[in-house]
A and B are shown apart, each in its own frame.
Chain A
């Protein structure tokens, strides 16, 4: 097997829950009352090799987003270690690096820089990005005047032009109309085939299984299955049809 790009070892993440109503809050509760802990990730271990496209699936609250946030270093693990062997670009939420007062063109530079693109690279790509997004005459308009569709298209256009070796994507397939969606999927397929390492979280199993060679199923913060899309899909369907075994 090819070289390891992402190596996740025994990663756990706890969140402190809000205190129940009626308990004393603020300085009066200090230092005694401690709130309950919710374990969003529980000793998760896996590794991803170069060129692999892995689908991250699981029910709502299974820990998919927490895992992606930890990998993109927005959150820290409570325990465990991760090594990443490559430049990483993450798109956790569409348009997250946008400033409403800047124009579309200016935002391409800001967003590109945030995602780790060199300015010289953005110079060469900006026309292609604008064309891909279909922004047309609105390129120099502050993006707070954009329609939500234009906003999403621009964000996604920047993301698919990223030159990162490792891509983290979360639910990004759900943007725009059918035509733009198809265009994005083609672009993602290209990225997947170009030897990039991709980790995609989502719920659209049909689309994901056309893209990925491997599914990682999270359930209650643990890795419940990690193999081919067909086998994991069957496992997942059993899970969601089974009566809930734990109160959330």
Chain B
């Protein structure tokens, strides 16, 4: 047995954030994070018929819907690219973020049986979920290259930045999803509200229409939505088009500030949220 340390290993206090709930604690519990990722990975396609193919199929089905309604009926332009590829390339990052925020926001509730019985840094739950979904995001992107190559579209020189854009999307989804999970644990109202907000955010981002449709005087306002530049940058780099750096940099800065604030807020109120489960 090791000698008793003079400084307590664990301090329990009535207020303030838990002593070890932030990123440093997550690093200390990285083996648990790995176990959660394995669990998430192992059970995510259980009891489905098509299993991992849904990762590829879901954006394709969405694309089909928008091709019919936005392209054939509404005649939405697509900046020169074939509309189907245009929408497909926008839907991949959008669906990643939107699906992730949706499922992360139920993370604490889905793990209620764990978090009400064992202590561990709760941030591990959303983090493991986003890591596994990031893997799916990569698979969906690879599938896109196959389709694009078949249609004769080659990616741009900015392709090497793609991992950065994907990571950018993941950080945003992690922060928003984690924060929503605290909110939904306490007030279920937000579970009903969230899909509406996400739908609004989709129409507020250039997913199924190009940002060139946005009037020039509203553009700086438009790009305050961090998702707008992420979708645009992702699409430009895989469709082989010039990529606008400035909106993306603004979005990146907004994402960092937002993520910092939301994760801090999560760490500060996770215990409170868990007690209301």
Q: By the criterion of a CB under 8 Å from any partner CB, how many residues of chain A are at the interface?
A: 42
Decide yes or no whether A19 CB sits under 8 A from chain B.
no
Q: Which residues of A contact B3 (CB under 8 A)?
A: 3
Decide yes or no whether A188 CB sits under 8 A from chain B.
no
Which secondary structure characterizes the binding site on chain B?
Answer: mixed
Q: Given the known A-B contacts A76-B271, A110-B35, A114-B118, are A84 and B9 also in contact in the complex, defined by CB atoms under 8 Å?
A: yes
B10 touches A78 (CB 8 A): no
Q: Which residues of A contact B275 (CB under 8 A)?
A: 75-76
Decide yes or no whether B42 CB sits under 8 A from chain A.
yes
B12 touches A84 (CB 8 A): yes
The residue in chain B whose Cβ has the minimal distance to the Cβ of A103 is: B42
Q: Which residues of A contact B118 (CB under 8 A)?
A: 72, 74, 90, 92, 96-97, 114-115
Decide yes or no whether A125 CB sits under 8 A from chain B.
no
Q: Which residues of A contact B31 (CB under 8 A)?
A: 113, 118-119
Decide yes or no whether B274 CB sits under 8 A from chain A.
yes
Q: Which residues of B contact A87 (CB under 8 A)?
A: 9
The residue in chain B whose Cβ has the minimal distance to the Cβ of A115 is: B118
The residue in chain B whose Cβ has the minimal distance to the Cβ of A75 is: B275
Decide yes or no whether A80 CB sits under 8 A from chain B.
yes
Q: Which residues of A contact B1 (CB under 8 A)?
A: 50, 165, 195
Decide yes or no whether A211 CB sits under 8 A from chain B.
no
Q: Which residues of A contact B159 (CB under 8 A)?
A: none
Q: By the criterion of a CB under 8 Å from any partner CB, how many residues of chain B are at the interface?
A: 35
Q: Shortest beta-carbon distance, B64 to chain A, in Å?
A: 31
A78 to B114 Cα, complex, angstroms: 22
Q: Shortest beta-carbon distance, A81 to chain B, in Å?
A: 6
Decide yes or no whether B11 CB sits under 8 A from chain A.
yes
B274 touches A74 (CB 8 A): yes
Contact of B9 among A50, A71, A85, A109 (CB under 8 A): A85
A79 to B172 Cα, complex, angstroms: 36
Question: Which residues from 31 to 50 on chain B have a C-beta closer than 8 Å to any C-beta of chain A?
Answer: 31-32, 34-36, 38-39, 42-43, 46
B35 touches A113 (CB 8 A): yes
A83 to B19 Cα, complex, angstroms: 12
Interface centre among B2, B9, B12 (most CB of A within 10 A): B12
Q: Given the known A-B contacts A96-B114, A113-B31, A113-B35, are A74 and B5 also in contact in the complex, defined by CB atoms under 8 Å?
A: no
A101 touches B14 (CB 8 A): no
Decide yes or no whether A152 CB sits under 8 A from chain B.
no
Decide yes or no whether A88 CB sits under 8 A from chain B.
yes
Contact of B114 among A3, A86, A97 (CB under 8 A): A97
A101 touches B42 (CB 8 A): yes
B113 touches A96 (CB 8 A): yes
Q: Shortest beta-carbon distance, B7 to chain A, in Å?
A: 8
Q: Given the known A-B contacts A3-B4, A72-B118, A102-B43, are A81 and B35 also in contact in the complex, defined by CB atoms under 8 Å?
A: no
B12 touches A106 (CB 8 A): no
Q: Shortest beta-carbon distance, A66 to chain B, in Å?
A: 12
Decide yes or no whether B73 CB sits under 8 A from chain A.
no
**Proximity bits, B114-149, A CB within 8 Å = 1, else 0:** 111111100000000000000000000000000000
A50 to B3 Cα, complex, angstroms: 10
Decide yes or no whether A202 CB sits under 8 A from chain B.
no
A88 to B29 Cα, complex, angstroms: 14
Q: Which residues of B contact A115 (CB under 8 A)?
A: 118
Interface centre among B10, B43, B275 (most CB of A within 10 A): B10
Q: Shortest beta-carbon distance, A91 to chain B, in Å?
A: 9
Contact of A99 among B5, B9, B10, B43 (CB under 8 A): B43
A156 to B142 Cα, complex, angstroms: 45
Decide yes or no whether A224 CB sits under 8 A from chain B.
no
Residues of A within 8 A of B (CB): 3-5, 7, 50, 70-88, 90, 92-93, 96-97, 99, 101-102, 106, 109-110, 113-115, 118-119, 165, 195
Residues of B within 8 A of A (CB): 1-5, 8-14, 18, 29, 31-32, 34-36, 38-39, 42-43, 46, 113-120, 271, 274-275
Pairs across A and B, CB under 8 Å, 19 listed: A3-B3, A73-B119, A74-B115, A74-B117, A76-B13, A77-B14, A80-B14, A83-B10, A84-B8, A90-B118, A90-B119, A96-B117, A97-B114, A99-B43, A106-B39, A106-B42, A114-B114, A114-B118, A119-B34
